Structure 1
Amino acid sequence: MAVTIDNSTNDFEFQKPFNYSINENITYFDYTNFTSDDFCASNNSHVYLNVTCEFAISYAEPMYGYIAPFLLATTTVANTLIVVVLSRRHMRTPTNAVLMAMALCDMFTMLFPAPWLFYMYTFGNHYKPLSPVRACQAWNYMNEVIPAMFHTASIWLTLALAVQRYIYVCHAPVARTWCTMPRVMKCLIYIGIAAFLHQLPRFFDRCYTPHKTVWRGRVEEVCRIEMASWVKALSVDAYFISYFGFRVLFVHLIPCTSLVVLNVLLFRAMRTAQINRQKLFKENRKSECKRLRDSNCTTLMLIVVVTVFLLVEIPVAVVTILHIISSTIVEILDYHIANILVLVTNFFIIVSYPINFAIYCGMSRQFRETFKELFIRGTVTSRKNGGSSRYSLVNGPRTCTNETVL
Structure 2
Amino acid sequence: MAEGTEMVNNSFENVTVDIAPYVLDLTNSFPIRYAVPLLGYFSPVLIFITLVTNTLVVIVLLKKNMRSPTNTILAGMALSDMFTGLFPLPVFLYFFGMDHYKEYIPYNWCYTYRFMSELIPTIFHTASIWLTMALAIQRYIYICHSFQARKWCTITNVLYGTLAIYIIAILSQISRFFDSFYIPVEIMSRMHENETMTACVQELRPWVQAHIDLYYNVYYWFRVICIHLIPCAFLVVLNALLISAMRTAQLRRMQLLKQNKKSESKKLKDSNCTTLMLVAVVGLFLLVELPLGIIMIVYLIDNTFELNIFSMADTYGIMNLISNFFILLSYPLNFFIYCGMSRQFRETFKRMFTGAPMPIDRDCSQYMTLPTENGKTALTADETAL
TM-score exceeds 0.5 = yes
Question: Within 1, Cα distance between the matches of 2:351 and 2:342?
Answer: 14
Report the Cα offset of residue 186 of structure 1: 0.8
* 1:231 aligned to which of 185, 208, 217: 208
8 Å contact 1:5–1:144 — kept in the other structure? no
Structure 1 residues 185 and 2, CA gap change in structure 2 (3 angstroms): closer
Q: After superposition, where does 1:14-33 map in structure 2 within 5 Å?
A: 17-18=16-17, 20=19
The one-letter code sitting in structure 2 at the alignment partner of 1:225 is: Q
Structure 1 residues 119 and 2, CA gap change in structure 2 (3 angstroms): closer
8 Å contact 1:295–1:403 — kept in the other structure? no
Report the Cα offset of residue 373 of structure 1: 0.6
Report the Cα offset of residue 324 of structure 1: 1.1
* 2:239 aligned to which of 251, 263, 273: 263
Greater than 4 Å deviation, 4+ residue runs:
12-15, 386-392, 402-405
Report the Cα offset of residue 5 of structure 1: 4.8
Residues 1:364 and 2:337 aligned together: no
Quote the residue 1:283 is aligned against.
Answer: 259
Q: Indicate the percent of aligned positions where both proteins have the same amino acid.
A: 46
Quote the residue 2:180 is aligned against.
Answer: 206
* 2:23 aligned to which of 29, 32, 50: 50
* Aligned pairs, number: 367
Report the Cα offset of residue 318 of structure 1: 0.5
8 Å contact 1:382–1:388 — kept in the other structure? no
Question: Within 2, Cα distance between the matches of 1:268 and 1:8?
Answer: 33
Quote the residue 1:183 is aligned against.
Answer: 157
Quote the residue 2:61 is aligned against.
Answer: 86
Superposed CA offset, 1:330-360 (max 9, x none):
3323321001100000000000000000000
Secondary structure in 1 aligned to 2:173? helix
* 1:169 aligned to which of 138, 143, 146: 143
Secondary structure in 2 aligned to 1:51? coil
Report the Cα offset of residue 382 of structure 1: 2.2
Residues 1:324 and 2:300 aligned together: yes
Question: Within 2, Cα distance between the matches of 1:295 and 1:55?
Answer: 49
Structure 1 residues 66 and 263, CA gap change in structure 2 (3 angstroms): same
Structure 1 residues 19 and 380, CA gap change in structure 2 (3 angstroms): closer
Superposed CA offset, 1:238-282 (max 9, x none):
111100110011000000000000000000000000010111112
Q: Which runs of 5+ in 2 are unaligned?
A: 368-378
Quote the residue 1:137 is aligned against.
Answer: 111
Superposed CA offset, 1:289-321 (max 9, x none):
111101000000000000100010001001100
Report the Cα offset of residue 183 of structure 1: 1.2
The one-letter code sitting in structure 1 at the alignment partner of 2:381 is: T
Superposed CA offset, 1:141-162 (max 9, x none):
0000000010000000000000
Superposed CA offset, 1:180-227 (max 9, x none):
221111111100100000010111111101111122222221111111
Q: Which runs of 5+ in 1 are unaligned?
A: 21-46, 393-398
Residues 1:346 and 2:324 aligned together: yes
Residues 1:194 and 2:168 aligned together: yes
Quote the residue 1:37 is aligned against.
Answer: none
Residues 1:128 and 2:103 aligned together: yes
8 Å contact 1:50–1:127 — kept in the other structure? yes
Quote the residue 2:373 is aligned against.
Answer: none
Residues 1:117 and 2:92 aligned together: yes
RMSD of Structure 2 on Structure 1 (CA):
2.2
8 Å contact 1:2–1:240 — kept in the other structure? no
Structure 1 residues 136 and 143, CA gap change in structure 2 (3 angstroms): same
Question: Within 2, Cα distance between the matches of 1:7 and 1:157?
Answer: 19
Report the Cα offset of residue 9 of structure 1: 3.4
Secondary structure in 2 aligned to 1:56? helix
Question: Within 2, Cα distance between the matches of 1:186 and 1:206?
Answer: 33
Quote the residue 1:401 is aligned against.
Answer: 381
Superposed CA offset, 1:352-399 (max 9, x none):
000000000000111111101102x2654323xx4566679xxxxxx9
Superposed CA offset, 1:39-68 (max 9, x none):
xxxxxxxx0111113882100011111111
The one-letter code sitting in structure 2 at the alignment partner of 1:112 is: F
8 Å contact 1:176–1:400 — kept in the other structure? yes
Secondary structure in 1 aligned to 2:99? coil
8 Å contact 2:186–2:196 — kept in the other structure? yes
Residues 1:62 and 2:37 aligned together: yes
> Which deviates further from its counterpart, 119-128 or 345-354?
119-128
Quote the residue 1:253 is aligned against.
Answer: 229
Question: Within 2, Cα distance between the matches of 1:212 and 1:187?
Answer: 48
Quote the residue 1:40 is aligned against.
Answer: none
8 Å contact 2:232–2:290 — kept in the other structure? yes
Secondary structure in 2 aligned to 1:207? strand
Secondary structure in 2 aligned to 1:126? helix
Secondary structure in 1 aligned to 2:102? coil
The one-letter code sitting in structure 1 at the alignment partner of 2:313 is: Y
8 Å contact 2:61–2:71 — kept in the other structure? yes
Question: Within 2, Cα distance between the matches of 1:307 and 1:218?
Answer: 52
Structure 1 residues 402 and 288, CA gap change in structure 2 (3 angstroms): farther
8 Å contact 2:366–2:382 — kept in the other structure? no
Question: Within 1, Cα distance between the matches of 2:101 and 2:287?
Answer: 30
Structure 1 residues 378 and 330, CA gap change in structure 2 (3 angstroms): same
Question: Within 1, Cα distance between the matches of 2:214 and 2:61?
Answer: 44
